[in-house]
Structure 1
Amino acid sequence: MTERFIAFEGVRKSYDGKSYVVRGLDLDVAKGEFLTLLGPSGSGKTTTLMMLAGFEIPTHGSITLAGQRIERVPPHRRNIGVVFQNYALFPHMTVGENLAFPLKMRRLPKAEVTERVRHALDMVRMASFESRRPAQMSGGQQQRIALARALVFEPQLVLMDEPLGALDKQLREHMQLEIKHLHDRLGINVVYVTHDQSEALTMSDRVGVFNDGTLQQIATPHDLYEAPDNPFVATFIGENNAIAGEVMELSGGTCRIRASDGSLIAARAGVGLKIGAKTTLVLRPERITLAAAASGPNRFRAHVHELIYHGDHLRLRVSVCGCDDVRIKVPAGSVETPKPGTDIDIGWAEGDCRALALS
């Protein structure tokens, strides 16, 4: 059994004593895990991180770190490194002085401070920047220094709150891999907060999806993408088509759904489905086959409304199964390009669509 390193048990947080921004959170994090908390603004993910850091105190429940309850332990005694979006580097200090600061606060010997600063800068490939000040560096370089400062005192846990949000797309994607590779090398725990879905899928061992103060689902990136528990997770993680219908048949892990236009769709059955109940069927755009040879139980005639060229792929918007806004993504050049206003055959595998119970 994997060792439990962090545990939230029945944690709730309220600022006014009436409404809760985090509701009944139960969450275990394994030793060495990279966990991302993902969700829209106001979903409770950052408040959860701040309670773990010690900057907020739970209204109810307990938080355990390495076997010790910490909800009343002050932040500086938790041995946690924190990286924020705004870097929070001291502008009047050099890079070396910024990294040395948390070590001097812990009263480490001067020789050890020097060695740890050098080692931390080597980890983030910034050894030649030790004498520079933050204003003399780019955003990506400052972010690396902020990460090095969070690691320099060898914390048992590193928390990151939207650390790449201020960077441009190319640099952000580069830093995602840098952070993930650093985690893999060091084996430390990372809890990471973001609202960026691709960031969460790229970096994480597991992702916890929050909405309205509640943890909706926690799973590996693959399982979140392929097997969402509810319509919110399905639409928040990546791009999904949502087709309304009614459950007509249930057999083991599969079902048959009647769409609003009477079409019957074979699908995987989500948790909690019942015959006669309304459902949302979710289907990824890239899983739809666009060809006259489309076959199997899910073959339908669709009307093309719109075609958009994206270089490496085409995106189509079609009407099918009673839904006027079904998106299809196909590689450019893989099929004859359909024209808006025409009807085409499309299809998808039973295992590529999932019928979800409505809450």
Structure 2
Amino acid sequence: MNEPFIAFEGVRKSYDGKNYVVRGLDLSVAKGEFLTLLGPSGSGKTTTLMMLAGFEAPTHGTITLAGHRIDSVPPHRRNIGVVFQNYALFPHMTVGENVAFPLKMRRLGKAQTAERVRRALDMVRMESFQTRRPNQLSGGQQQRIALARALVFEPQLILMDEPLGALDKQLREHMQLEIKHLHGRLGINVVYVTHDQSEALTMSDRVGVFDDGTLQQIASPHALYEAPANPFVATFIGENNAIAGEVVELVGKTCRIRTADGSIISALAGDGLKQGTRTTLVLRPERITLSSPAETPNRFTAKIVELIYHGDHLRLRVQACGCEDVRIKVPAALADTFRASGDNIVIGWAPDDCRALALS
């Protein structure tokens, strides 16, 4: 196995010597990988990024970059570019001067600086804006300049802390693809922090999900969505129905779950399940079908509680399997099929579309 480009080994971080905001972090990142650290506020993701940048020091454990320990190396000697949410551009400088600033600090010659600035601005499609000042730019343009400034000194790693948080939805989605495509062209390592799960799924090679200072799971976006390791990941990544039950049978990789109303559901079995234990069954709203045929393994009657129109699709909230709030996502073309709350409908899903997870 190749040596990881970034490695956290047994890293813990405490600000008061008692409470840990990062607990026992072991994390390896391959060369050229785009890794996103995802989690709610206070989960430890930003502290992890700040330790990698050198703005925070680990209380315990080691951090290596390109095979060298960097725990005690100051930030300016780590050859890392950083992009923050507020962009941190100097208002009194032009775009060109802002981008050139890291090279000025490194005492690069004028000719080489000019060429590097031109190349960096060209990467983010902002070469014609060199003489403007930050207050003459839109939020998306400022974000591009901050990214060019982080790239101009050719760092071995780019760190991004909620860089798109200040942008509106449409521009945010556009910039997600811009950053993803730039990463693809350059092949540079990116470690990206966000609390937006959609953003993480869109951009990343892998996503590390944090909660309460602990890395809950790290996997590809597809694996996180389809095979969450625990109930927290299942509910944090995308939308999931969570149905409580008890394991009544385990057969290889599958199991049968009895819910509060006595319904029996066939599902994939997560790690750590035992017969007779309580479990949470997770099921994506888009995997539930309506008017399921009689031979469908999981087929139940449900009562409509609420219909919510979303333009391109319809959301149904129903009572089923002892759960008061099961959500179903269906195409908007079916909107006329449902007349009122209180109607009974038949729903179903395949065993492979739901997963029973052990309670932590």
TM-score by length of 2: 0.98
Conserved 8 A contact 1:294-1:345: no
Pairing 1:231-242 to 2, within 5 Å after superposition: 231-242=231-242
Pairing 1:293-312 to 2, within 5 Å after superposition: 293=293, 295-312=295-312
Alpha-carbon separation, structure 2, partners of 1:74 and 1:292: 61
Alpha-carbon separation, structure 1, partners of 2:140 and 2:356: 42
Q: What does the per-residue CA deviation read over 1:243-297, in whole Å, with 9 as the maximum and x for residues that have no partner?
A: 0000001111100000010000000000100000000000000000012536411
Partner SS, residue 56 of structure 1: coil
**Cα distance, 1:336 vs structure 2:** 5.5
Shifted more, 153-162 versus 103-112: the winner is 103-112
Which amino acid counterpart does residue 15 of structure 1 have in structure 2?
Y
Q: What does the per-residue CA deviation read over 1:175-221, in whole Å, with 9 as the maximum and x for residues that have no partner?
A: 00000000000000000000000000000000000000000000000
**Cα distance, 1:334 vs structure 2:** 4.2
Pairing 1:199-238 to 2, within 5 Å after superposition: 199-238=199-238
Alpha-carbon separation, structure 1, partners of 2:21 and 2:294: 47
Conserved 8 A contact 2:279-2:359: yes
Conserved 8 A contact 1:294-1:347: no
Residue in 1 aligned with 2:275? 275
1:347 matched to 2:348 = yes
Residue in 2 aligned with 1:24? 24
Conserved 8 A contact 1:52-1:63: yes
Residue in 2 aligned with 1:250? 250
Alpha-carbon separation, structure 2, partners of 1:324 and 1:341: 13
Which amino acid counterpart does residue 99 of structure 1 have in structure 2?
V
1:111 matched to 2:111 = yes
Q: What does the per-residue CA deviation read over 1:146-188, in whole Å, with 9 as the maximum and x for residues that have no partner?
A: 0000000000000000000000000000000000000000000
- Structure 1 residues 336, 294: closer, same or farther in 2, change over 3 A? farther
Which amino acid counterpart does residue 344 of structure 1 have in structure 2?
I
TM-score by length of 1: 0.99
Q: What does the per-residue CA deviation read over 1:28-62, in whole Å, with 9 as the maximum and x for residues that have no partner?
A: 00000000000000000000000000000000000
Residue in 2 aligned with 1:34? 34
Conserved 8 A contact 2:124-2:145: yes
Pairing 1:82-93 to 2, within 5 Å after superposition: 82-93=82-93
Alpha-carbon separation, structure 1, partners of 2:53 and 2:81: 9
Unmatched tracts of structure 2, length 5 or more: none
Partner SS, residue 333 of structure 1: helix
Report how many residues are paired: 359
Partner SS, residue 125 of structure 2: coil
Identity of aligned residues (%): 83
Partner SS, residue 5 of structure 2: strand
Partner SS, residue 48 of structure 1: helix
Pairing 1:310-325 to 2, within 5 Å after superposition: 310-325=310-325
Conserved 8 A contact 1:290-1:335: no
Partner SS, residue 36 of structure 1: strand
